[in-house]
Structure 1
Amino acid sequence: MTELKVKSLPKFVDDMIQKYKIPETENINKTLRAKFLRELIKMNEWDKAKYKTFERNRTKVFQYEILEKLEEQCRAYLVKKSGYDLKVFEEYKKKLNETTSYEDINEETLVEMQKEAAFRAWAGSISKEEIRDVMLKALFEKFFTPIELIQWQEDSDFITIVDADDNRKFDFEYYKAKERYTSYNKSAYYKER
């Protein structure tokens, strides 16, 4: 008998804070837990959950499928808590849906998409010249901190991995990475306080 993968609610809260990059505040864990608890009760999943013992604590655990549905239902709330504008994210998804209609893809477009993906895979990381240009720009602007190269590289890698017909293009993580990567002058470095 195979055991289904399960996760506790506190672990799920921590995962959502990391995934959506929600700023750590004093009550964020309590707030998110309360929101998720209300949604689980609405979904009639709270009472169905089984108990599992972790160390000395006995806690309810939920299957991954249930937690995915919960995340989908709470996505607007999580995006809002992360500081991003939900309307802009929804417009991005809508525009992406309009541009990727699979019936309209002809062989020529497919070949071009494959060439572009192959070039991105070959190019791999950001060139030193590209880094130098952005760093120079940052040097000449007063009162700014240096660019977060690690975040920039992670965004580049993530965007490179996701293909043209990949469903991950509709995820919030991809949207954030694309926003940071395409507009590095807005989000890769910040004004000093």
Structure 2
Amino acid sequence: MRPYKRLLIVALFLLLLLALFQFSGLREHFNLTFLRQQIADNEVSGLLIFVLLFCLGNLIQIPGWIFLAAAVLALGKTWGGLATYLAAVVSCAFTFLTIRFIGGDAFRELKNRHALKILRGLDAHPVASIALLRVLFQTVPALNYALALSGVKFYKYLVGTMLGLPLPIMLYCLFFDYIGQALHVH
């Protein structure tokens, strides 16, 4: 299948998924209050719901900081950070595998010199590149889509993701914990 056709299929899938969440009313549940309540009500099933919502949210462009803030405010900075790290890694892996299944390595098949130059850089140091991208952009869905379509090996993607996420998650945990204490939300 031609790369542009695969990219179109990925875009249509994401638009359909977004429309489904928007028109079904499910998107309304992707907010700080709902997520925090799910975690606080039952830490085991709430954590499973949290991971599932993070996975789905990542596919439909819900910012990861909302999940992190909810976890920190419900569980504190240490446990909230660990829960978010676990959910973020699972979410990024889920997004990668879903988009790779639908779109393959469509970016690699493009005959665009700029795209090929970027891919050569990614190929030269995939784990370090992905780790740096995670430090800078955390779980941004567009990054997950691009890396899935780049043809990078899944295990290199996963290792880079696992290495790059702890620092920004830790910094956000400290920030949201500070905000929570200042607003007496804990």
State if a TM-score over 0.5 links the two structures: no
Q: Looking at CA atoms only, which structure, 1 or 2, has the larger radius of gyration?
A: 1
TM-score, L = length of structure 2? 0.24
TM-score, L = length of structure 1? 0.24
**Highest relative contact order (Cα 8 Å, sep 6+), 1 or 2?**
2
Structure showing the higher helix proportion among its residues: 2
